[in-house]
Amino acid sequence: MFDNFVNLWHGFAVAGDPFNILLMVVGILLGVIIGVLPGLGGANGVAILLPLTFSMSPTSAIILLSCIYWGALFGGAITSVLFNIPGEPWSVATTFDGHPMARQGKAGEALTAAFTSSFVGAFVAILMITLVAPLVAAFALRFGPAEKFAVYFLAFCSFVGMSKEPPAKTIVSMMIGFALAAVGLDMVTGQLRLTFGSEELLNGFDFLIAVIGLFGIGEILLTMEEGLEFRGKSAKIDAKVVLRTWASLPRYWATSIRSCIIGCWMGITPAGATPASFMAYGIAKRVSKNGKNFGNGEIEGVVAPETAAHAAGTSALLPMLALGVPGSPTAAVLLGGLLIWGLQPGPMLFVEQKDFVWGLIASMYLGNVVGLIVVLTTVPLFAAILRIPFSIIAPVILVICAIGAYTVNNNVFDVVMMLVFGVLGYVLKKTNYPLAPLVLAIVLGDSAEEAFRQSLLASGGSIGIFWSNPLVSTIMGLGLVAALYPMISNLLSRLRSPQPA
């Protein structure tokens, strides 16, 4: 443990070099721009810029790339709040309360809360990496297919009872998502499913296309129907909004801590940032005394998912370094980069490449501080975008959405799909089917199915594998409780209510 601190101190000396600090600022700014443009996600941004870094030392290069990654994480929240278009899977939950806040003219507050929570989540995750890195790596190794499925199961279950809409509608929406996720190659048998001989459907439905359509285009259609009135018009430019929001944030300390724990845990397991953000939101909604108001612009509903997503996103770097398994697509590209610099991620990296690893960890601390300062200064600027009349901004959003959809796979078919999803999103919204479960199922459906079938292969078809050890049993148990929670609480309140009489 003490060794870690000595190493970290040395790491600060490496990362604190003025050139490296400059790279951090550049990286964060680039990252924010990448995060704001939907489709050009962090993974793409890092991949495009990877070759530029070959002339630098490995430490400087990874600092630049990881700062782009953090910038993109920060930036993803901007479009979620302002336009209801999540740029990354883990920003979906941020739209639930972030966008309603923007409509009420509180975009500045929502953005400040999102950025600050991101920072808190990431910071706690880095602290954890510093303190318990070796233990965490050993824990991650215990996750086989059954344990992974249990985690996804928990994420889905904690969602079913959460929605404002009746559970039946949530489940219908989730099932549509699963069906869409099943299109493409079946990983377990190597066969094509539901492609109907179409070459365009080989790749299945990309999450980003679905989200840009369902949320972005769907939102524009709804707004048009309601008379071209942009609902965020009353947003004021006010530099003090940051300080005012900060003053209100400590009230949600319990939510923050809970989300940090969920995030760190999900990042390591490695289920990733998306289920972490959904779970944190779901649990906050249940537990918080403002829970009923969630979905109507509650600041706590922004704090919970953002904190968890960043804690997960950051702690996911640990399995990557210690085990060589990337926790996210962006981490996968970073991993490729490490190999090019001759750094072999794996158990020996912490022993053989101390300078590099601790330089990276130190840069996470500095990069996040730099990132927070950079993005907070942009809050009034972004909030001001909402003052532009809708008739001007709507076509701009449409074009950005179309470009975003095209960039995902360089495919015109995806732009058409985006429009189809837009109409679907509009119809679902008009009929009060929640969109979030659909999105969650598209994002995680594939992985959950894969883990489920891998488990059954390993057990020879016996479902008992999901209860075969304390770890997996506990997670499955939590999942069942989460799924049945509305029924249980209903029952409890019915039992209690006759008593006072």
Partner 1 sequence: MKNFHALGLGTLTALGLAAMSILPAAAEWKPTKPVEFIVPAGTGGGADQMARTLQGIIAKHELMPTQLIVINKSGGAGGEGFLDVKNSKANPHKIVITLSNLFTTPLATGIPFNWKDMTPVAMLALDEFVLWVNAQDPYKTAQEYEAAIKAAPDGTFKMGGTGSKQEDQIITVAIEKALGKKMTYIPYKGGGEVAVQLVGGHVNSTVNNPIEAVSQWRGDKVRPLCVFDGKQLPYTDKILGDLSWSSIPTCKSAGLDVEYVMLRGIFMPPGVSEEQVAYFVDLFKKVRETPEWQQLMKDGAFNQTFMAGPEFKDWLTKAEATHKGLMQEAGFIAAAN
Structure tokens at 359: 């330089």
Angle between helices 107-141 and 354-384 in degrees, nearest 10: 160
Euclidean distance between CA atoms 37 and 402, whole angstroms: 11
Closer CB to partner 1, 94 or 274, in the complex: 274
Provide the minimum distance between the beta carbon of 191 and partner 1 in the complex, in angstroms, as a whole number. 7
**Closest Cα partner for 249 from 109, 380, 107?**
109
Closer CB to partner 1, 225 or 352, in the complex: 352
Provide the minimum distance between the beta carbon of 337 and partner 1 in the complex, in angstroms, as a whole number. 8
Closer CB to partner 1, 296 or 409, in the complex: 409
Provide the minimum distance between the beta carbon of 344 and partner 1 in the complex, in angstroms, as a whole number. 4
Provide the minimum distance between the beta carbon of 376 and partner 1 in the complex, in angstroms, as a whole number. 32
The residue to which tokens 């008992």 are assigned? 464
Provide the minimum distance between the beta carbon of 74 and partner 1 in the complex, in angstroms, as a whole number. 22
Euclidean distance between CA atoms 358 and 61, whole angstroms: 14
Closer CB to partner 1, 52 or 373, in the complex: 52
- Which runs of consecutive H residues, i.e. helices, occur in 161-204? 167-181
Residue 251 makes CB contacts below 8 A (sequence gap 6+) with none
Amino acid at 54: F
Closer CB to partner 1, 48 or 221, in the complex: 48
Closer CB to partner 1, 297 or 326, in the complex: 326
* Element holding 133 (H helix, E strand): helix 107-141
**Closest Cα partner for 356 from 3, 6, 11, 4?**
11
Closer CB to partner 1, 43 or 81, in the complex: 43
CA of residue 229 relative to chain centroid, distance: 30
Euclidean distance between CA atoms 239 and 484, whole angstroms: 45
* Element holding 193 (H helix, E strand): strand 191-193
Provide the minimum distance between the beta carbon of 50 and partner 1 in the complex, in angstroms, as a whole number. 7
CA of residue 278 relative to chain centroid, distance: 8
* Per-residue CA distances from 222 to 79, 100, 264, 394 (Å): 17, 14, 37, 12
Euclidean distance between CA atoms 240 and 452, whole angstroms: 50
Provide the minimum distance between the beta carbon of 460 and partner 1 in the complex, in angstroms, as a whole number. 7
Provide the minimum distance between the beta carbon of 333 and partner 1 in the complex, in angstroms, as a whole number. 5
The per-residue DSSP string of 264-287 comes to HHHHHTT--HHHHHHHHHHHHHHH
Provide the minimum distance between the beta carbon of 52 and partner 1 in the complex, in angstroms, as a whole number. 8
Closer CB to partner 1, 144 or 167, in the complex: 144
Closer CB to partner 1, 334 or 366, in the complex: 334
Provide the minimum distance between the beta carbon of 103 and partner 1 in the complex, in angstroms, as a whole number. 37
Contacts with partner 1 by CB under 8 A lie at: 43, 47, 50-51, 54-55, 141-145, 184-192, 195, 199, 202-204, 323-326, 329, 332-333, 335-337, 339-340, 342, 344-349, 409-410, 450, 454, 457-458, 460
**Closest Cα partner for 440 from 43, 42, 154?**
154
Structure tokens at 123: 């910071």
Closer CB to partner 1, 65 or 220, in the complex: 65
